[in-house]
Amino acid sequence: MRRSIITGIGGQDGAYLSRLLLERGHEVLGVIRPGQSGTLPGLVQVGVSNEVRLVQCDLCSYEAVAELIATFRPDEVYNLAAQSSVSRSFLLPGETISFNTLSVLTLVRVIHECAPHVRMYQASSSDMFGKVPQLPIKEDMAFHPLSPYAVSKASAHWIAKNYRESFKLFIACGILFNHESPLRTRNFFVKKLICEALEVKQGKRETIRIGNLALKRDFGYAPRYVEAMYGMLQHDSPGDYLICSGRSVLLTDIANHICDSIGISRDRLVTDPALFRPLDIPDIYGCNQRARQILNWEYSLDFMDVLDILIEAEQQHIH
């Protein structure tokens, strides 16, 4: 039986990846913060809370991570833990950059020095590219990060690559574009909009404050994106892969679809300039050809269909 560690197990991707690894016969150990306890709602929601063992670990402590690796003796480590909100990263730039980079450096150092056979997945982000000269984004394009979160992920990505190249470690970086699911928290755009539209419908609020909707983004479905993470660590050699739908969707179209599906007037959407980001680019989408060809990863979901899944899940949650 293969043994896998997932950091950030309490997040959206941690839950879906746990379920996938268990289905593939892995034993799964989930890492939670020191002092954190109790059941994780995401694991409960995907039906695996009894099958995943949880352990507290300070991911920035070399000694703690070395002990974790020595005790569990994993074949694979999926490093998903991060302060993952762009807007929060502007409020907490130091915390975001510090944790998102130091935790990765600690993990690759431990793997290099104590367990070089371990295969590692690093959760990189399309936000690293930021301002790009042309579309679609491809793996070899230069980074121009536009937020503290993006800077932290770019730095972590280069730490992971540097250890892979310097010490011939098996470290794969999945550069994922936005991916959504019912497990998203409400501080992310799509989930916030769905929840607040339902609150308008129920008479619990009058309006929905929104930022700049004249932007296009490449959105996907989390349960399908974690399959690519798994595929990266089963391949013969490590690499970097863009995981995306390959198409961008206008945020206005997403907002309108949500209002229409839930049955509220589009007039309830009220633009609030305070929600605009300091720097934003109008359109982003990626090319997933490398993942399709090398990992045999397939993705063809239309994001409006994904939205219907998310709206339905939220409606069931309420009733």
> Locate tokens 């998102």: which residue?
100
Q: Of 242, 239, 229, nearest to 285 (Cα)?
A: 242
* Contact between 125 and ligand NDP per CB under 6 A: yes
Counted residue by residue, the chain has a size of 319
Residue 106 vs 125, nearer CB to ligand NDP: 125
Using alpha carbons, select from 112, 224, 111, 103 the residue that is nearest to residue 153.
103
- Please tell me whether residue 218 binds ligand NDP under the rule CB under 6 A: no
Helices 148-167 and 93-114, axial angle in degrees (round to 10): 10
- Element at 4 (helix H, strand E): strand 3-7
CB of 174 to ligand NDP, least distance (A): 8
Size of the site for ligand NDP (CB under 6 A): 20
User: Least distance (Å) from ligand NDP to the CB of residue 164?
Assistant: 18
How far apart (Å, rounded) are the C-alpha atoms in residues 158 and 262?
Answer: 43
State which residue, 200 or 307, has the beta carbon closest to ligand NDP.
307
- Considering the complex, what minimum distance in angstroms separates the CB of residue 152 from ligand NDP? 9
Q: Is 300 helix (H, G, I), strand (E, B) or coil?
A: coil
Interface residue with ligand NDP among 164, 179, 191, 224 (CB under 6 A) is: 179
Q: What gap in Å lies between CA 165 and CA 301, rounded to an integer?
A: 35
Instruction: Mark the segment that binds ligand NDP (CB under 6 A) among 78-86, 197-205, 282-290, 299-307.
Output: 78-86
Long-range contacts of 308-317 (CB under 8 A, 24+ apart): 308/261, 309/182, 309/221, 310/180, 310/181, 310/182, 310/190, 310/191, 310/194, 311/194, 311/258, 311/261, 311/262, 313/182, 314/182, 314/194, 314/195, 314/198, 315/198, 317/182
At closest approach, how far in Å is the CB of 309 from ligand NDP? 16
Nearest approach, Cβ of residue 14 and ligand NDP (Å): 6
Question: 82, 86, 118, 295: which one contacts ligand NDP (CB under 6 A)?
Answer: 82
Site for ligand NDP in 256-285 (CB under 6 A): none
Q: What are φ and ψ of residue 14, in 5° steps?
A: -60, -40
Q: Which of 80, 150, 264, 269 binds ligand NDP (CB under 6 A)?
A: 80
Of residues 92-121, which lie at the interface with ligand NDP (CB under 6 A)? 99
148 binds ligand NDP (CB under 6 A): no
Is 84 one of the binding residues for ligand NDP (CB under 6 A)? yes
**82 DSSP assignment:** S
Considering the complex, what minimum distance in angstroms separates the CB of residue 46 from ligand NDP?
Answer: 12
Could you say which residues in the range 6-25 bind ligand NDP, by CB under 6 A? Answer: 8, 10-14
Listed in sequence order, the DSSP H helices in 24-91 are 41-45, 62-72, 86-91
Contacting residues toward ligand NDP, per CB under 6 A: 8, 10-14, 33, 36, 59, 80-84, 99, 123, 125, 176, 178-179
